[in-house]
Structure 1
């Protein structure tokens, strides 16, 4: 098996701001795994919150590059086990695991959702994310991309007023993501006001480790709450079931599709709503997420929609939110840049 690594700097359509950061570009690592004439592609984006850069991921992968080239590839699961034993970060493992799954499906000439025994007849529609900005800019972004579900990033002093103003311009479902910016008291206070404005759920309102605060939120909030920063790896799912109504799984944070599939099963066993989210990936990463959609209650896979320019073809999101799955096996990805 041959491995290739390449860094891309993805330009965004708009400055993307959340409660703790803003950026105009997204650095990302694309991994290619080549075996028996087929190439699988995987991706992991850089993330300052988790202190991950493309350069750091490339450096740790290069340490085991010869071992990867010599690896006797049979299944993505066995490859993932090997990567975990090498103690790579979950972000680096994710890029490699996604590439291994794409490769595996291409070798079998089947899409991953078919290999997993699911079909794409029914699946949730992705939300479209509106980052923090002036109300005028946020309204302009909504009008630029009319969509049935918006995820609104909040974490300002005027959060409810922002949602109240945005509601004047659309009948779409709203989801709120405060990215750890609220207190328990703010969350409980804001929840009924936001519910009246057509908000479906709140995502990660409190700091990731504020479990005492989440006890109050679960007791008193009139809106369901979904864990994101509190749910990173497989072992977090069971704890989150005590403090949240659902979980948002990020492939980069948990280490790829292999653990994500287990987290989905565990979440459902525990009665949680299950969501998979993106980290502003290109179509490489989004196409991997798309393979999971038939298993999900909610999905946030608008990353490629936020880019000025994409670097790959694969699963495409139509204007009505439905998906077009390519006939190519695996995640169905091909690089174009």
Structure 2
């Protein structure tokens, strides 16, 4: 019996605008793959990202290009060679993992040889806005243990100061989304250290991060846009102290688990992240988050309404209910 693959796009409105240095989102546009084999259905979700020259249409086209191979029985290992890393491969890879779990009557965590975290601390994001509004947003989540602050190159220090004043006890990640120059980073590093910032995420454009080579920064710097797969890590290890693993960059859980192991071997700090998405995208990322020093999986927290059996968020902590992804379903 052949498998049957279907793919569709979905739009999930946000409860409020999500602003970063390169733009604003008011909805999460995702692509969902269903892979059926007999009575079992595996599901995977991905987020096409314009920064990586992806669109909903291009991702659906990529999925269609390998649909016949997947339906004929293409394995996850073969998929890694058949399709480049990115959102399309992520959706298919996660659907394959989920299908395997249904067929085996086991969890994906068991199949992958990892543990599923229980309740975890996730970063909660304060999106880019006027400093006064960022202060208000931070005050509303001040009880969260970890806050991510989105900034750009226009007076970012004032924004971070506003968040720190409103949330004096929280650990902070500052994320400029590639908007800073090397000179601005050098100027801000000691001031951000004084504000007790724990991590700076991708301050420079990925194509311009050579200036970070062998830098010993006062605040650790994390690669996001500069690190997609394990093939990037030798270079990244010379320029960064941490790596943010996202399944939409790695092209699925299969490569993400390989990348996680290589991050540890290189002595880099592990961060597990996601795009703004539904909980179906985040569920596989929980397996990467095991033992991560920083977890940033609040994507579904931004939705006006999430999927049934979605992640449960409270005070900067999250947990996954049963029945969403990666385990046998009735």
TM-score (norm 1): 0.89
Q: Distance in 1 between matches of 2:47 and 2:308?
A: 15
User: 1:204 and 2:202 equivalent?
Assistant: yes
Question: Equivalent residue for 1:161?
Answer: 158
CA deviations over 1:193-213 (Å, ceiling 9, x no partner): 112222101111111022431
Once structures 1 and 2 are overlaid, which stretch shifts more, 94-103 or 130-139? 130-139
Q: Distance in 2 between matches of 1:142 and 1:232?
A: 30
Whether the aligned pair in 2 keeps the contact of 1:124 and 1:296 (CA below 8 Å) is no
- Equivalent of residue 145 in structure 2, options 144, 148, 172: 148
> Counterpart of 1:247 in 2: which secondary structure?
strand
Question: Displacement, 1:15?
Answer: 1.3
> Are the structure 2 counterparts of residues 320 and 155 from structure 1 closer, same or farther at C-alpha, using a change threshold of 3 Å?
closer
- Equivalent of residue 42 in structure 1, options 37, 41, 44: 44
Q: Distance in 2 between matches of 1:294 and 1:87?
A: 27
Q: Distance in 2 between matches of 1:24 and 1:333?
A: 32
> Are the structure 2 counterparts of residues 208 and 292 from structure 1 closer, same or farther at C-alpha, using a change threshold of 3 Å?
same
> Are the structure 2 counterparts of residues 328 and 30 from structure 1 closer, same or farther at C-alpha, using a change threshold of 3 Å?
closer
Question: Equivalent residue for 1:260?
Answer: 256
Whether the aligned pair in 2 keeps the contact of 1:102 and 1:333 (CA below 8 Å) is no
> Counterpart of 1:213 in 2: which secondary structure?
helix
Question: Equivalent residue for 1:15?
Answer: 17
Question: Displacement, 1:329?
Answer: 6.6
Whether the aligned pair in 2 keeps the contact of 1:113 and 1:292 (CA below 8 Å) is no
Whether the aligned pair in 2 keeps the contact of 1:95 and 1:256 (CA below 8 Å) is yes
Give 1:201-240 correspondences, 5 Å limit: 201-215=199-213, 218-219=215-216, 221-240=217-236
Question: Equivalent residue for 2:78?
Answer: 82
> Are the structure 2 counterparts of residues 137 and 13 from structure 1 closer, same or farther at C-alpha, using a change threshold of 3 Å?
farther
> Are the structure 2 counterparts of residues 14 and 300 from structure 1 closer, same or farther at C-alpha, using a change threshold of 3 Å?
same
Q: Distance in 2 between matches of 1:47 and 1:205?
A: 19
Question: Equivalent residue for 1:76?
Answer: none
Question: Displacement, 1:276?
Answer: 1.6
Q: Distance in 1 between matches of 2:293 and 2:120?
A: 6
Question: Displacement, 1:322?
Answer: 4.2
Q: Distance in 2 between matches of 1:233 and 1:26?
A: 24
- Equivalent of residue 111 in structure 2, options 93, 104, 115: 115
Give the gaps of 5 or more residues in structure 2: none
> Counterpart of 2:73 in 1: which secondary structure?
coil
Question: Displacement, 1:246?
Answer: 1.1
Once structures 1 and 2 are overlaid, which stretch shifts more, 145-154 or 60-69? 60-69
TM-score (norm 2): 0.91
Question: Displacement, 1:274?
Answer: 1.0
- Equivalent of residue 304 in structure 1, options 300, 304, 315: 300
Question: Equivalent residue for 2:286?
Answer: 290
CA deviations over 1:94-151 (Å, ceiling 9, x no partner): 0000111122222223332233333346785210111111123323333444422111
Q: Distance in 1 between matches of 2:200 and 2:8?
A: 36
> Are the structure 2 counterparts of residues 18 and 108 from structure 1 closer, same or farther at C-alpha, using a change threshold of 3 Å?
same
Question: Equivalent residue for 1:28?
Answer: 30
- Equivalent of residue 181 in structure 1, options 175, 179, 187: 179
Whether the aligned pair in 1 keeps the contact of 2:174 and 2:200 (CA below 8 Å) is yes
- Equivalent of residue 59 in structure 2, options 57, 60, 70: 57
> Counterpart of 2:173 in 1: which secondary structure?
strand
Question: Displacement, 1:327?
Answer: 6.2
